[in-house]
Amino acid sequence: MDEIKEYFERLKRKIKRKFAKKQKVKNNTKNRKRPPTGTKKKRPQPREHVEGIREEPRGSARPKVELDRKAVPNKKKRKKKKLTKEEFEKRKKKKRKENIIEIIKFMLPVVLFAVLVFFFILNTSPHMVDGDSMKPTMLNGDRVIVRRTKEPKRYEIITFKPPVKSEFQYVKRVIGMPGDLVWTEGNDLFINHQAESLPKASELSAANELPDGTIKVNLSQDSLDQMAQFKKIPKGYYFVLGDNRNNSSDSRTFGLVDGQAIEGVVSFRFAPFNSIGWIK
């Protein structure tokens, strides 16, 4: 019981303390004085700048003007120096060099562009393939660019005027070059560019005993009569074949092609669009 009494007494003390604090706060708010409604607070007036009233000594302003006048350069008093003859000539030379350099800078790209254009036009020509003799490398209707030259390399595709009557130029691949060994057996022609001398008669009995690099071609009678006269392809002449052997009129029919009749080497195909690229 004693413990319960002590607990209640503590609670009473705490409640009294809180009540006393609230009364003190109320009394303090009541005691504060409020300013009357009609009165306005006076704002502090800015202090006047005394620096503007201060007078500077009389002698201090004049020297500044004098110094400023001295500092400003007088343009009228300046005179251009007369150039000597040597200096005048040097300036002339410099101007000439600058003008020449500017002209070169302007003309050089123009000249280079013109040279490239003329070189391309004079050394190339466009063609359209007609026929299927070069399948599958080139198809009918392909448009190609021919680089003009009279000395093609082995296995390059060339355009040339055929030694037969034709309104069009032919497109074929170079197989035999000047200096290649050639020999005939029946209606067959053998071409070899690796051997140094013709094989013996005993070596010609079996095809599997032919020298490495030998090409066997079946010829027409006119072409066979021509090729039977040579042991080597003469200088300036070429043996050509179409890639589509079964549908091609080439050296098997009309014999060797003169180098002077060659227009150039087919190097690039520019149409159709899906086949654009270099030709090998």
Query: CA-to-CA distance for 278 and 268, rounded, in angstroms?
Result: 4
Catalytic member of 33, 79, 82, 133? 133
Name the token pair of 235: 């200088």
Q: Does the pTM of the predicted model rise above 0.75?
A: no
Q: Which residue has the higher pLDDT, 15 or 64?
A: 15
CB 241 within 8 A of CB 248: yes
User: Quick one: which of 186, 237, 246, 184 has its CA closest to 215?
Assistant: 184
Please give the share of the chain, as a percent, with pLDDT higher than 70: 75
Output the pLDDT for position 50.
44
Per-residue pLDDT tens over the stretch 30-71: 555 555 555 555 565 555 544 444 545 554 455 444 444 445
Output the pLDDT for position 201.
57
Place of tokens 């620096």: 51
Give the helix/strand (H/E) hosting 190: strand 188-192
Under 8 Å CB-to-CB from 142, ≥6 apart: which residues?
Answer: 128, 129, 269, 271, 272, 275
CB 279 within 8 A of CB 173: no
Radius of gyration of the chain (CA): 55
User: Quick one: which of 173, 95, 159, 85 has its CA closest to 127?
Assistant: 159
Query: CA-to-CA distance for 278 and 266, rounded, in angstroms?
Result: 9
Query: CA-to-CA distance for 20 and 16, rounded, in angstroms?
Result: 6
Per-residue pLDDT tens over the stretch 155-193: 999 999 999 888 899 999 999 999 999 998 889 999 998
Q: How many residues does the chain have?
A: 280
The pairing of strands 124-128 and 257-258 is unpaired
Give the helix/strand (H/E) hosting 222: helix 221-227
Output the pLDDT for position 41.
52
Per-residue pLDDT tens over the stretch 111-123: 888 888 777 778 8
Q: Is 202 a catalytic residue?
A: no
Per-residue pLDDT tens over the stretch 202-220: 455 455 567 778 899 999 9
Within 10 A of 198 (CB to CB), how many other CB atoms are there?
16
User: Quick one: which of 179, 174, 173, 188 has its CA closest to 227?
Assistant: 188
Mean pLDDT of the chain: 80
Output the pLDDT for position 87.
80
Q: Is 133 a catalytic residue?
A: yes
Output the pLDDT for position 12.
79
Residue 77 has pLDDT above 70, yes or no: no
Catalytic member of 172, 223, 248, 251? 172
Output the pLDDT for position 53.
45
